[in-house]
């Protein structure tokens, strides 16, 4: 029998952290904040990051400055602070010398109980040098020195300290079951990988700092598990999607040729190459599941339009979906002249369309009168019926996930899917997010683009720059002014932008506009419209604005606190300018002094405009977890694997998943059953439901 629910063996791992003794509702909240979940499993997946070696020393004389020591002392004297704001001091001694123990904001009662006068106590802490005198700030009283050997440090959150966290993790470990083995026997034996329970236990019990590196057997096995779950899910999605046969669309039909002829320029070789790949997919009986990667302005949209012609030439419809309202409308405006000139009826549909207007649009879609539908998520809501959807183009800017792609393809039988993304992703990351798709890349830009002149500018020169803007504005130059995220808070973020807006407004009056993510779509459109028509010269924006906006006349991009942005993000922002024929500029305003990584980032940005090179560098500099702001991006957020370090594992997990599914597509063999357990372990219940469907 096959498992269609979460196997019972996993139950202990899915219990709430609240079942542990000492974890009440308040702590549970903290755990949720720290771990992003409240299951015992979330605790187990919380990796230690550092290890402090504790040196047991025979006496105070052997306790060296800078070392974390364990030493037995006698409590000599308590000195209460004269004021609460001052520290509490204890003098500890042995025959070889003294150590001053210092406590801030300490509870007197607790201290007196833990460090009783004239008694011997074993303490642990780092020996600091206070004017030549040994001191420990917040020493830890130790009961059993052999048990508390080295201190293992975990990422924490305010209100949650190491000790209770470690205790909870070890309690969770005690409850962890042995799991059926889902790895291939031969591979496991060759690599000498431990089983799951041993690995997770070793993860939390490092003996030396080396055990914390991503290259230990336990770490590698755990990372492999996670990557395998990821790749297996994608392979299942792909298998199911491919099972729906695609349609055979003859390519290069009438409308396609007409559109091609109407273009005022030639396709670049890169565009031609990817269009050939798309044509081949569409013409074959296999479904197209293709990702088109290419920098902002590399000319993806027109490639997509040409692909849509294949569907329309066969009497089918095409949908073009954008992540936001602004972008949907912008795509519609970009495509309008092309489509109208060859007489193609298209409609737009976004969440804003209501009532009678919406009904008319829906009727056009269901009758087949609309050949192309451009819109937002609204396109795959219920009530939207296509007469005959043949191709779905999804411009996703990282916001749609696998599930949403599946939803859309449910709108028609065997719909061909073309996903476009303007954020170049390193190859390894692309596999984790889009491993269910074939990948095409446009690596160059249309001819005639001048490189954006990119300059670094220290914050204290901003005033001077503002003075010079006046002349530029008179000349009609259009400027984006981006204010950064402040500690990931949209509200503070907004405050910074509003402040900048007010300052600029005082100087340049109504030539200045403000746009941010909390504005109503209509107000955003209004501001964008004004900027686009040149009624506004400076557009102050938070990063939450849609980065896809296209105002070819804009030639200056100013980014404040550029050091706080990731490389990919800076690259995206810079891509807003340099879209017309005029020389464009990008000013990276930074607060000195710059850290090493920030320096490297800004230098990279100055040295190249190739998004793929920048993406690889970003991965190298930041590690996979942070690339592209993974949280918002819809990219995988791995907990055990580190794609920067485990890239080769990813490739082997991919191969493993694909080969295995080929042999056992329903995951029914013993290993197949164990792999189901793996999928449930990583909460890929969805993958199992895909298995069952169709």
Task: Please give the residue ranges that form the binding site for Mg ion (CB under 5 A).
Answer: 301
- Residue 302 near which of Mg ion, ligand ADP, none (CB within 5-8 Å, type-dependent): ligand ADP
Q: How far is the CB of 301 from Mg ion (least distance, A)?
A: 4
265 binds ligand ADP, rule: CB under 6 A: yes
CA 517, 626, 34, 323: dihedral to nearest 10 degrees?
Answer: 30
- Residue 265 near which of Mg ion, ligand ADP, none (CB within 5-8 Å, type-dependent): ligand ADP
Of 455, 467, 481, nearest in space to 538 by CA: 481
Distances in Å between the alpha carbon of 19 and those of 31, 32, 161, 319, 503? Answer: 13, 14, 19, 49, 54
Q: Which lies closer to ligand ADP via its Cβ, residue 446 or residue 517?
A: 446
Q: How far is the CB of 497 from ligand ADP (least distance, A)?
A: 25
Write each residue from 594 to 633 as x if it is in contact with ligand ADP (CB under 6 A), else as -, in one continuous string.
Answer: ----------------------------------------
271 binds ligand ADP, rule: CB under 6 A: yes
Of 397, 295, 269, 399, nearest in space to 612 by CA: 295
Spell out the alpha helix ranges (H) of 67-138: 108-114
Q: Using CB under 6 A, which of the segments 170-178, 300-308, 555-563, 582-590 binds ligand ADP?
A: 300-308
Q: Collect all residues with Cβ–Cβ distance below 8 Å to 102 and sequence separation of at least 6.
A: 87, 88, 89, 135, 136, 137, 138
Which stretch of DSSP H or E encloses residue 52?
Answer: strand 50-52
CB 619 within 8 A of CB 597: no
Q: How far is the CB of 300 from Mg ion (least distance, A)?
A: 6
Residues 406-425 that bind ligand ADP (CB under 6 A): 422
- Residue 297 near which of ligand ADP, Mg ion, none (CB within 5-8 Å, type-dependent): ligand ADP
Residues 446-505 that bind ligand ADP (CB under 6 A): 446
CB 2 within 8 A of CB 669: no
What sign does the CA torsion over 191, 197, 201, 207 have? negative
Q: Which lies closer to ligand ADP via its Cβ, residue 126 or residue 258?
A: 258
Rama region for 476: left / alpha / beta (φ>0; ψ in -120 to 50; rest) = left
Query: Of 173, 267, 503, 591, which lies in the binding site for ligand ADP, with binding defined by CB under 6 A?
Result: 267
Q: Which lies closer to Mg ion via its Cβ, residue 42 or residue 295?
A: 295
Q: Using CB under 6 A, which of the segments 27-35, 190-198, 293-301, 310-318 binds ligand ADP?
A: 293-301
CA distance 53 to 166: 16
Query: Of 231, 241, 298, 421, which lies in the binding site for ligand ADP, with binding defined by CB under 6 A?
Result: 298
CB 17 within 8 A of CB 40: yes
CA distance 529 to 508: 19
444 binds ligand ADP, rule: CB under 6 A: no
294 binds ligand ADP, rule: CB under 6 A: yes
- Residue 102 near which of ligand ADP, Mg ion, none (CB within 5-8 Å, type-dependent): none
Query: Of 46, 256, 300, 654, which lies in the binding site for ligand ADP, with binding defined by CB under 6 A?
Result: 300
Q: How far is the CB of 263 from Mg ion (least distance, A)?
A: 15
Looking at the chain, the number of H-run helices and the number of E-run strands are: 24, 23
- Residue 446 near which of ligand ADP, Mg ion, none (CB within 5-8 Å, type-dependent): ligand ADP
- Residue 559 near which of ligand ADP, Mg ion, none (CB within 5-8 Å, type-dependent): none
- The size of the interface with ligand ADP (CB under 6 A), counted in residues, is 15
Q: How far is the CB of 267 from Mg ion (least distance, A)?
A: 15
CB 288 within 8 A of CB 416: yes
DSSP letter assigned to residue 49: -
Query: Of 37, 194, 297, 412, which lies in the binding site for ligand ADP, with binding defined by CB under 6 A?
Result: 297
DSSP letter assigned to residue 489: B
Q: How far is the CB of 332 from ligand ADP (least distance, A)?
A: 13
The two structure tokens encoding residue 149:
């050997």
Q: Which lies closer to ligand ADP via its Cβ, residue 526 or residue 553?
A: 553
Q: Which lies closer to ligand ADP via its Cβ, residue 96 or residue 266?
A: 266
Q: How far is the CB of 303 from ligand ADP (least distance, A)?
A: 7
95 three-state secondary structure: coil
339 binds ligand ADP, rule: CB under 6 A: no
Q: Using CB under 6 A, which of the segments 7-15, 41-49, 291-299, 358-366 binds ligand ADP?
A: 291-299
Q: Which lies closer to Mg ion via its Cβ, residue 221 or residue 579?
A: 579
The two structure tokens encoding residue 71:
């030493």
Of 417, 412, 310, 322, nearest in space to 365 by CA: 412
Of 646, 551, 624, 684, nearest in space to 232 by CA: 684
Q: Which lies closer to Mg ion via its Cβ, residue 301 or residue 428?
A: 301
301 binds ligand ADP, rule: CB under 6 A: yes
CA distance 351 to 322: 12
CA distance 314 to 337: 22
CA distance 2 to 294: 42
CA distance 567 to 545: 17
327 binds ligand ADP, rule: CB under 6 A: no
Q: Which lies closer to ligand ADP via its Cβ, residue 296 or residue 316?
A: 296
- The residues that touch ligand ADP, with contacts defined as CB under 6 A, are 265-268, 271, 294, 296-302, 422, 446
């Amino acid at each position: 029998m096959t498992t269609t629910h979460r196997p019972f063996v996993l139950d202990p791992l899915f219990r709430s952290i609240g079942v542990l003794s000492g974890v009440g509702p308040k702590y549970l909240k903290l755990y949720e904040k720290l771990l992003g979940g409240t299951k015992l499993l979330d605790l187990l997946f919380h990796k230690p990051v550092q290890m402090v070696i504790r040196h047991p020393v025979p006496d105070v004389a052997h306790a060296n400055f800078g070392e974390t020591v364990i030493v037995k002392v006698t409590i000599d004297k308590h000195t209460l602070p004269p004021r609460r704001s001052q520290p509490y001091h204890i003098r500890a001694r042995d025959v070889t010398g003294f150590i001053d123990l210092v406590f801030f904001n300490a509870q007197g009662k607790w201290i007196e109980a833990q460090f009783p006068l004239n008694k011997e106590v074993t303490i642990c802490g780092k020996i600091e040098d206070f004017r030549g005198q040994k001191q420990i700030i917040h020493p830890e009283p130790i009961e059993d020195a052999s048990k508390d050997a080295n201190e293992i440090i975990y990422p924490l959150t305010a209100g949650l300290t190491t000790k209770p966290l470690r205790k909870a993790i070890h309690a969770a470990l005690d409850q962890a079951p042995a799991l059926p083995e889902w790895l291939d026997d031969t591979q496991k034996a060759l690599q000498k990988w431990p089983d799951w329970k041993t690995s997770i236990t070793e993860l939390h019990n490092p003996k030396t700092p080396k055990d914390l590196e991503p290259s230990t057997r336990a770490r590698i096995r755990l990372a492999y598990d996670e990557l395998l779950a990821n790749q297996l899910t994608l392979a299942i999605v792909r298998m199911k999607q491919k099972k729906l046969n695609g349609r055979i669309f003859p390519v290069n039909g009438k409308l396609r040729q007409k559109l091609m002829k109407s273009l005022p320029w030639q396709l670049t070789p890169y565009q031609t190459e990817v269009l050939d790949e798309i044509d081949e997919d569409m013409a074959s009986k296999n479904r197209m599941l293709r990702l088109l990667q290419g920098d902002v302005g590399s000319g993806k949209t027109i490639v997509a339009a040409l692909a849509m012609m294949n569907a329309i030439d066969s009497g089918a419809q095409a949908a073009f979906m954008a992540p936001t309202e602004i972008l949907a409308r912008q795509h519609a405006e970009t495509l309008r002249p092309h489509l109208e000139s060859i007489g193609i009826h298209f409609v737009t549909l976004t969440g804003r369309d209501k009532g009678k207007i919406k009904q008319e649009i829906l009727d056009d879609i269901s009758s087949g009168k609309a050949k192309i539908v451009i819109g937002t998520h609204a396109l795959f809501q219920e009530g939207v019926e296509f007469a005959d959807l043949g191709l779905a183009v999804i411009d996703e800017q990282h916001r749609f996930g696998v599930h949403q792609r599946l939803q859309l393809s449910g709108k028609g039988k065997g719909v061909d899917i073309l996903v476009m993304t303007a954020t170049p992703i390193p190859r390894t990351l692309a596999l984790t997010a889009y491993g269910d798709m074939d990948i095409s890349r446009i690596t160059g830009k249309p001819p005639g683009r001048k490189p954006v002149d990119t300059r670094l500018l220290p914050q204290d020169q901003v005033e001077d720059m503002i003075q010079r803007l006046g002349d530029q504005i008179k000349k009609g130059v259009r400027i984006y002014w981006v204010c950064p995220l402040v500690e990931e808070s949209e509200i503070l973020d907004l405050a910074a932008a509003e402040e900048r807006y007010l300052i600029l407004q005082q100087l340049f009056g109504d030539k200045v506009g403000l746009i941010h993510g909390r504005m109503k779509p209509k107000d955003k459109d209004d501001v964008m419209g004004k900027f686009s028509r040149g009624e506004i010269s400076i557009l102050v924006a938070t990063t939450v604005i849609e980065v896809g906006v296209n105002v070819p006349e804009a030639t200056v991009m100013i980014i404040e606190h550029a050091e706080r942005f990731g490389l990919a993000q800076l690259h995206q922002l810079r891509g807003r300018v340099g879209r017309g024929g005029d020389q464009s500029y990008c000013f990276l305003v930074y607060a000195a002094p710059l850290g090493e990584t920030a320096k490297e980032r800004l230098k990279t940005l100055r040295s190249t405009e190739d998004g793929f090179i920048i993406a690889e560098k970003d991965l190298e500099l930041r590690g996979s977890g942070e690339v592209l702001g993974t949280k918002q991006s819809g990219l995988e957020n791995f907990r055990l694997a580190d794609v920067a370090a485990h890239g080769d594992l990813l490739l082997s997990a991919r191969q493993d998943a694909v080969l295995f599914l080929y042999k056992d597509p329903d995951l029914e063999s013993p290993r197949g059953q164990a792999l189901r357990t793996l999928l449930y372990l990583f909460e890929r219940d969805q993958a199992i439901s895909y298995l069952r469907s169709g």
